[in-house]
A and B are shown apart, each in its own frame.
Chain A
Amino acid sequence: MSENNEKKVHGVMAEYTSVDTLLDACRRVRDAGYEKTDAFTPFPVHGIDKALGIKPTILPWIVLGAGLTGTATALVMQVWMNAIDYPYIISGKPFISLPAFMPVAFELTVLFSSFGAFFGMWALNGLPKFSNPVFTDPRFDRVTDDRFFLYIDSKDGQFQRADVEKILGDTDTDYVQTVVDDDSSDKVPKPFFMIWGLVVGLSMVPLLIVLKMRVSHSSQPRFHVFYDMDFSPAKGAQQYSTLFRDGRSMRPDVPGTVARGEMQADLDFMTGIDMDALSMIDQPRAERLVRKFNPLYVADAQAEQEATAEAEPQQAGSGDGDEPGGETTSGDAAADSPATDSDANEKAEAEPSVMDTTPWLGKNPLVLTEEVLENGRKNFGIYCSVCHGMNGYGNGLVNVRAQKILAQTWVPPSSLHQDTLYADKYPDGKLFSTISNGIRKMPGYSGQIKARDRWAIVAYVRALQLSQNASIDQIDEGQRESLLQEQAAVKKTIMEQAEAEAAKAKTKTSESEDDAAPEPEKDSAPAPEKDSA
């Protein structure tokens, strides 16, 4: 003991071997008036709080507070998340449905209370505390085994070392020891800091990367460890697939079935041909068409053989059948095509093609209403006008551009305003078939435009033709007079405008070429009034 004299004295402790001797000593020390005392035991000794005069703990109040916080947190969270910030409609229940919020409220109450009890207890006990003067005595190691210690702190008001040693020595103990400062270093070894720093530093790296990506912009696609559900690994058409034995990603139709929306019952409507009449003239062709539009149709073995032999060439042939050779000659579409077309007609008359013998439907099967015409106008604008032009003269943007760059293989689109294309020579059914299957360089549109819309386009084209070539005889007698006056007035204003333009142009540049622009304008001038007919 003497060599410890210079060190700071924290207190004095005595060792006991049983609960009873400890309790006895505790009572004696308490009665002697010491207050800063403590007992160290390997297990909780009941009655020691009274023997030492330890006051009850406030821990239950901390836990109560934590529990109420848990309940409140759970209820506020659920009401906020499910009723206010993002209201969920579930089975028509009210947004704030308390019974459904109870389980989570209960769980969070328990969770928060448990945190309160666990962390509150350690905090009140001042733990973790790894440096404690009582640990300096190696004999104190047995406190967690089978020994009991009573300790009087030097901070106690009446602490006198000699007195304390005496009072403890008088109890049933054979070991009284002064607790002094630990002379070993209280510094944490350096490697700990290095390891700790390294771990913290490294763990910040992913966080920093994520944060940087959150705030910065990049032209690269976002980096995905796992793709989100908006990424679809679906195969494209004609891609190889390992899923099926034949290696195709696209599946053929199941034999004997029709896909939804593919069942075509009305063949006249689909082909533009009077099928009854066709089957009289050309039975095999009629059968092929039936098979094409109705996969459920089962023909006899002979017809099937024919089909495999001829079906494909026939379809192509029906498109090419009336292609007039002269049509490929280039020139101003609107001006030249009537001439070439008439050539073609002459040829066709010489040897009638299948296109001429086909019994086309003469009349559009749709009931012509304003809606149908409007639908036709819309689809014509989408699909046809890019080549044929909004007015049908074959002056669409694609054609204009092709002419401008002198595209070698360009076949100019026909003007729709030529008498060979009028209803009397070119029946509605044939026009429908042309739209569906294509002609010359024009591809078929059956894959892109529904049959109903193709018929609507046919109706619109007829209206368009009428708008350019109707005669005054087609107007009601009563309206003719006013219409002619109106036409004269319009013509006059146009002429005046044109003259004014020409005069302006001459004054500006004496050598200006003929502009193409005014001429079509003059041509199309009568259009508005006749449209109204």
Chain B
Amino acid sequence: MSLAIPNGLDNSVEQPGERAPLVLGDTTYHDITEAVCQVAERKPSAGWVFGFLISFALLQWLGICILYLIYTGVGVWGNQSPVFWGWPIVNFVFWVGIGHAGTLISAILFLFRQEWRTSINRAAEAMTIFAVACAGTFPGIHVGRAWLAFWLAPYPSLNLWMWPQFRSPLLWDVFAVSTYGTVSLLFWYMGMVPDLATFRDRSTNKWRRMAYGLLSLGWSGSSRHWMRYEKAYALLAAFAAPLVLSVHTIVSFDFAVSQVPGWHTTIFPPYFVAGAIFSGFAMVLTLMIPARTMLGLEKLITIRHLDNMCKIILATGSIVGLAYGTEFFIAWYGQVQEEKFAFTNRAFGPYWWAYWTMVTCNVISPQLFWFKKLRTTPWIIVLICIFVNIGMWFERFVIVVTSLSRDYLPSAWSYFTPTWVDVSMLIGSFGLFFTLFLLFCRLMPVINMAETKSTLAKQYHMTQHGDH
């Protein structure tokens, strides 16, 4: 990670009457192609191999833990009455939240014509899909009999002779997360097809050409194709934008529709969505900052991109902080005994350490981004983002565990303790995530070349007009 910004690469300064360039240096279309393709075409670096081996080992460990779980039963987790949701659901909500930044960058920023998204959207979308894969793992194995998880689907079962219960938020969740995963995958793949065609046309190896040829579906860059493609892309963005908001809203319904004190609040949907974007952007930055340096993409993923993302983290982090405050205010203002107890217990009960870790990481640390110096210093950004991710994991832990462990029935109260399987699975899910992400970096175009080139074309256009 570079401490200082290389000369000529600081585009975070606003020049009056002029748009800051999003592609830096004297870059041509071909330079963009070269910069992105060399990532996949050159031999893997030692760092990549090292990272991949570690991630892959962790993934294997996750697989072993899942087999152990299926063979033995859910008792291998720390889930015990009354905390039956425990870490699996904490991890699920954490990973789904991480995914949201990708869709936000690719869909909502696209609809708002925020062109700085072009160089980061591909990796962010990939991150979405891998995060959803991690997220989907947990409820899948948390159902107890994982081999019957397909019972969640509404199909005419000869074993059950019954249908799913569509008035349950847990079933809405199944539909929301699976739709989200599917649409994100379509969106990501569709966006990649022109770039896969670039890979195909550049490949010298016959098999490589054939593989990328199949993946790029015979894309020729025809203008008629581009027109329909852009229309389809805009439509998908228009669907993905409300979809991403609906997914975490429905995840929050899992909690809010129940009657557990500390869960039963109407603030959950916006609060969850803000938290999801917050954690997602933190994850994008955590990944992107080392990647841009290691892959040599500083001219495309510029300081301005980092600066903008930090501002979003600051905004969503403040929303999350406000939500924490509002929860406490309503608990006091509502004067419901159980609610008051639930929130006092959160902050000062047996899980006070989790609560204050969460507040420190989520409310205090993003406030540092008010300082421009910190927003434009990559290693500080990474540090703060890691704190944000820790804080957001603890937020879900606090919500799930403190509320469940202190239910209405005091005789059932207990203190949740995770087992080594819980911990292994959380770490293993990072293995899954990073394995997929590192493979993506090697095999797929990490930056949307076509879109970046069209940004560059506009940049040319503007400079020509400026010359008049």
Contact = CB atoms under 8 A, between A and B. Distances in A.
Are the chains A and B members of one assembly? Answer: yes
Interface of A: 19, 38-46, 48-49, 52, 54, 57, 59-60, 63, 77-78, 81-82, 85-86, 88, 90-91, 93, 97, 100-101, 103-104, 106-108, 110-111, 113-115, 117-118, 120-122, 124-125, 127-132, 134-135, 141-146, 149, 225-226
A97 to B, nearest CB: 6
A121 B234 CA distance: 12
B293 to A, nearest CB: 25
B114 interface: no
Interface in B226-255: 226-232, 235-236, 239-240, 242-243, 246, 250, 253
A122 B182 CA distance: 17
B235 A60 contact: yes
Contacts of A125: 222, 224-225, 228-229
B225 A127 contact: yes
Contacts of B96: none
Given A44-B230, A111-B179, 6 more contacts: A42-B450, A45-B226, A48-B223, A52-B223, A57-B228, A108-B175
A49 B231 CA distance: 13
Contacts of A41: 221, 223, 226
A266 B380 CA distance: 80
B223 A110 contact: no
B217 A113 contact: no
A43 B453 contact: yes
Given A110-B243, A130-B218, A101 B226 contact: no
Contacts of A91: 167
A57 B227 contact: yes
Ranked 10 nearest A-B pairs via Cβ: A81-B163, A146-B29, A121-B232, A128-B217, A141-B201, A103-B172, A144-B198, A100-B167, A43-B454, A44-B226
B224 A82 contact: no
A39 B229 contact: no
A423 B163 CA distance: 64
A131 B220 CA distance: 10
Given A86-B163, A108-B179, A121-B228, A43 B451 contact: yes
6 contacts: A57-B228, A107-B179, A125-B225, A125-B228, A127-B218, A146-B453
Given A38-B222, A121-B232, A111 B182 contact: yes
A60 B253 contact: no
A142 B172 contact: no
A81 B213 contact: no
B176 interface: yes
Contacts of A131: 218
B171 interface: yes
Given A54-B227, A111-B182, A111-B183, A104 B166 contact: yes
Nearest to A128: B217
Contacts of B457: 19, 43, 45
Most chain B CB within 10 A, of A81, A129, A144, is at A144
B207 to A, nearest CB: 12
Contact of A81 (B164, B224, B235): B164
B202 interface: yes
Nearest to B213: A130
B165 interface: yes
Interface string B170-196: 011001100100110011001000100
A149 B220 CA distance: 10
A433 to B, nearest CB: 44
Given A45-B226, A90-B167, A107 B175 contact: yes
B154 interface: yes
Nearest to A146: B29
Contact of A104 (B29, B171, B200): B171
Given A110-B179, A127-B225, A128-B218, A145 B29 contact: yes
Nearest to B458: A46
B61 interface: no
Contacts of A52: 223
Nearest to B230: A44
A107 B246 contact: yes
Contact of B30 (A40, A120, A145): A145
Contacts of A38: 222-224
Contacts of B28: 146
Interface in B410-460: 449-451, 453-454, 457
Contacts of A78: 166
B145 interface: yes
Instruction: Give the interface centre of A48, A101, A107, A121 by most chain B CB atoms within 10 Å.
Output: A107
Contacts of A77: 154
Contacts of B222: 38-40, 125
Contacts of B451: 43
Nearest to B177: A107
B268 to A, nearest CB: 14
A41 B451 CA distance: 12
